[in-house]
Structure 1
C-alpha cells in the first residue's frame, strides 16, 4: 500500500471514530509502528489530524467530537497515572466515593483498589468491573443504570434518578474539556446531565484532567470552575493556565512527575 493510500485510510478512521491508535493501525495496515508514526506526522504537519501520545485525533476543535474509550486510553497515559495516584491519595479508608466514566477516572479506580472499606458509586461499567471483588467484604460497588455513551458512561434519566437519592463524600470527575469561560464540558448532552447529578450527590468535587484538556470546549457545560473543590492535573500544564485556574478553583494540585516521565 502506498503512503498516500495509508494516510487516506488513517484520515477516514479518524473522521469515523474521532481518533485512532498506532497499535490498531499497525495491525490494520500491516506495516511497522515507525511507518504509521511517520504517516501521522505527515498528516499532522498538514493540519489534517492532531498527533497525540499513541495515536491521532481530529485536528478540529468541534464541540461534538468525542473519541471512544479505547482511543482516549492511549492519550497521555503516564500523566493520567500520575494524576490518578495523587487523586487516590485524597480518599480515606471507610469513605464513600463516586467515580465518573472516562479514562482518567478509570486510572483513579486502579489506584483505589487497595483502599479499605470503600463504598463506590459509578456510572462506568469498566470501573464497576474493576473494583467489584466478591472476595472482599469491606467494599460496596454500586453501578447506576442508563444508556452507554461513546466514552462508555451510563447516562440518562435512569442514572439521574438513582443519583438524585444518593449522597457521597467525594466525586472523582473526569472531563472532556476544561476552559476558563466555559468551565467543565462534554460533547454528550446526556452525559452532561448525569455528571451534574453526580456533582449534586457529592459533598466534595475532585476533578482529574491532564494538561491536554485545558482550552478544550465540548458541546455542553457540566459545571463552572468555581464549583471545583480540588483540580488534580499534571506538571505539563503551563504556568499561565495554572494562574488562571488558581483564581477560580478551590485548590489546584499538580501531580508529581513519575520516574517513567523523567527517564
Structure 2
C-alpha cells in the first residue's frame, strides 16, 4: 500500500496507472475509519483494479470551528485498517496542499438540493463538500467513487456536482453500515460518552417505527410522532426530522408511488450531532 501526501505525486502516479489501462475506485474520507468505511473500500476493490482512499479533514465544510478541532484524527490506526482490506493507495494531504492557504469554498448551484434538511442548519456546508470532492476527483481521476448512504443528502449533491462539472466519474451509493444495536456507524460515535452511546440506538429504533407508520400515516403525522418521542427522551435532542423525496430532497406531503421517499433525522447527543435516514 502506497501513501502519498503531495497532490502532484499522487496525480502523476495515478495517471501512470490509468495509462496502463487500470481502473481507479476512490473512497473519499475524513479519517477516523470504521467498518462502514472499510465496506466502501471492499466494494471498490470488487469493481476496480486500483482503490484509492483519501484521508483529509476538510475545513471548508465545518460550520463550527470547535467541531473541526475536535474531529477525531487517527491516521496510524486508519492506515493499519486500510492495509487489512488491501487498499492500494492512500492520499493524506495537509490543508495547505489542498487549499494553498486559501481556505475558501467554491460556490455551486445545486438546484436547491443543498437548501433542504442539513442545508437549513449548516450554512455553506455543501459548498465545502463540493469544493473538496471536486479537487479530489481532479487529483485522482477515478472511474468510480464510493459514498455511504448515511449521508444521503450529500450523496445526491455529489451526483449533482458530477452533472454540473461534467467529470467522467460514476457515483456509487453504498448501504448504511450499522453497529449491532442499530446505531449508524460514524466517526463521531467515538466521541460519545458511555451514557450517550447507550442512548444513541434510540435513533434507529425510532426510524424503524417510522417505516412501519409510513404504511398507514401521513408524513405530518409521522413528524409529530418523532417529535413526541424525542421530547420524552432525557438524553437526546431532536434537531430535525423530515420525510422527503429521494430525488429532489423536498419535504413530502403525502406517500405515493411517483416518488421514493426517506425519513431523515438529526439528533444531538450532548454536543455530538448524529444523522441517520431510512428508506420508506
TM-score (norm 1): 0.30
TM-score (norm 2): 0.29
Q: Which has the higher contact order (CA 8 A, sep 6+)?
A: 2
